[in-house]
Amino acid sequence: MHAITKLAEFVSQYPEGRLPQKARDFISQLVLDLIGAAAAGLSSPLASAARQAALDVYGGGDAQIWLTDKRSSTMGAAMANSAAASALDIDDGHRGAAGHAGAGVIPAALAVGQALGASDAQILDAIALGYEIALRVASARPTATIETYASGRWVGYGAAAAAARLLALDPVQTAHALAIAGAEGPIMFPTGTSKFQGSTVKEGIPPAVVAGLTAAYRARAGASGPLDLLDNGERYDRHLLLGQLGDTWELQKCYLKPYACCRYMHAAIDGILALRQNGREIRKLRIETFPQGLRLANERQPRSLEGGQYSFYFSCALAALHGAAALQPVARASLADADVLGLASRIELDVAPDFATSFPAGTPAKVILDQGDGPQELIVLHALGDVANPMSRDEIALKFRNIGREHLHPEWQDGILAAIDGLETGGFRPLLSALNLSAPRN
């Protein structure tokens, strides 16, 4: 049987409302984290352009564009919300997948669920199954065959799975939805072949959402896709694709990101924050990390927020001089900070032989920092937010408040937090209401 067919049977036939409690609880944390990421990215060029394009191309509708008073079609809202959530690179990720599922799956599931009037249990199931399929497809790729780690290459599978579940597609229709999404999703560019890392193209998550949702609706209408898409054993590990389906949930292996930059550099930032002494002169800063870290664009003087997100030099200099708050999120003014750019020009970045095979299972770093008393050294194997070093619920809520403060006043934040805390009893309707800019508030 084709691997896609087996995955489709799982998506279509998983019993409604049977998600383990731990998975349900973690979904609420993932939703909170993603809403915070969307709030932080709301006014970014990526999100602003996507929001306007959604209204221009997909028109109005009943689906909420989060944190605004705008509504669009299912497709328009899902795309716009995905763009905001992925804009600042502070959305959840997964070590095995080496990328981000939530910014594609959650906007897709909430938009389709809202359009269909789906039950809370149906939306929870769709989110969990969307994560599961996307992350299994991504994690099943042997490292040697991966041309690019851009999440747009695989997150469309998750959007298609979530939509197929909510549309109640049968196993055959669901298989074709997954196959269409996989075959027609964004190609993206292999790392190093383009400067897309410094543009609003980034990882291609919003167009992957469009491809995934379109695939599900087309499959419902009778379209077909290449069902053998995941059957090549040299490109996909069948055991990782299909093993223990329903026994374990990949979403529980997701990491959360405290800083608005590529996960590759978070261990280095943690090390810098642990060693830095506020106000002390930084005479030397050297970072040693895994080889893939040096394949980022790594501009010393990035011209955009996206460029900064993919630069060890800039993000680490920002952390060293201004602390964690400067990365929650990164202000555009930082791009012109002469002190930050000066330090960025002096940072040494190299590969640590001990970390040569760490990625994608790990993203470690060694930091060597001299603040006038001689070099101090620190190795960080698990960045804050990793499964082995998780953020607490309070830390996630504090991150939400910090990164959303520009667009959400404290009372609005309180309402969103209360709605997410009440997901188990009150469901998604209060949350969708809380995300509406024009909704009445106490």
d(CA 32, CA 234): 37
Tokens of 238: 């069948």
Residues of the chain with pLDDT under 50: none
All residues at 6 or more sequence positions from 420 whose CB lies less than 8 Å from its CB, including other chains: 28, 31, 32, 35, 431
CA angle 311, 312, 313 (to 5 degrees): 90
Structure tokens of 56? Answer: 């221009």
Could you tell me if 227 and 176 are in contact, meaning their C-beta atoms sit under 8 angstroms apart?
A: yes
Q: Domain 263-380 adopts which CATH fold?
A: 60s Ribosomal Protein L30; Chain: A; (3.30.1330)
Only one residue has tokens 């960045």, namely 383
For residue 9, give Cα distances in angstroms to 4, 17, 85, 232, 385: 9, 17, 30, 20, 33
Report the C-alpha gap between 308 and 88 in whole angstroms. 10
pLDDT at position 197? 64
248 to each of 19, 99, 136, 242, 391, how far by Cα in Å?
Answer: 10, 19, 11, 11, 21
At 146-179, the pLDDT tens digits run: 788 899 999 999 999 999 999 999 999 999 999 9
pLDDT at 440: 63
The CATH architecture that domain 3-255 belongs to is Orthogonal Bundle (1.10)
**Per-residue pLDDT at 278:** 87
Question: Exposure of 410 by Cβ count < 10 A (0-12 exposed, 13-18 middle, 19+ buried)?
Answer: exposed
For residue 433, the tally of other CB atoms under 10 A from its CB is 14
Give the CA angle between residues 315, 321, 322 to the nearest 5°.
Answer: 85
How does DSSP assign 266-277, residue by residue? HHHHHHHHHH--
Tell me the three state secondary structure of residue 48.
Answer: helix
DSSP H or E stretch at residue 176: helix 171-184
pTM above 0.85, yes or no: yes
Is the CB of residue 107 less than 8 Å from the CB of residue 209? yes
- The domains of the chain are located at 3-255, 263-380
- Provide the 3-class DSSP secondary structure of residue 93: strand
E-state strands within 1-140: 63-64, 71-72, 93-94
pLDDT, position 146: 79
For position 192, what pLDDT does the model report? 58
Interaxial angle between packed helices 3-13 and 171-184, expressed in degrees from 0 to 180 and rounded to the nearest 10: 120
Coil, strand or helix: which one is 128? Answer: helix
Q: Report cis status (omega within 30 of 0) of the bond before 291.
A: no
Cis before 190? omega within 30: no
Among residues 316, 292, 288, 290, the alpha carbon closest in space to that of 302 is found at: 316
Can you name the residues that pair with 99 across neighbouring β-strands?
A: 94
Q: Rounded CA gap, 33 and 85, in Å?
A: 9
Closest Cα partner for 227 from 182, 185, 181, 176?
176
User: Closest Cα to residue 314, out of 261, 271, 278, 383?
Assistant: 261
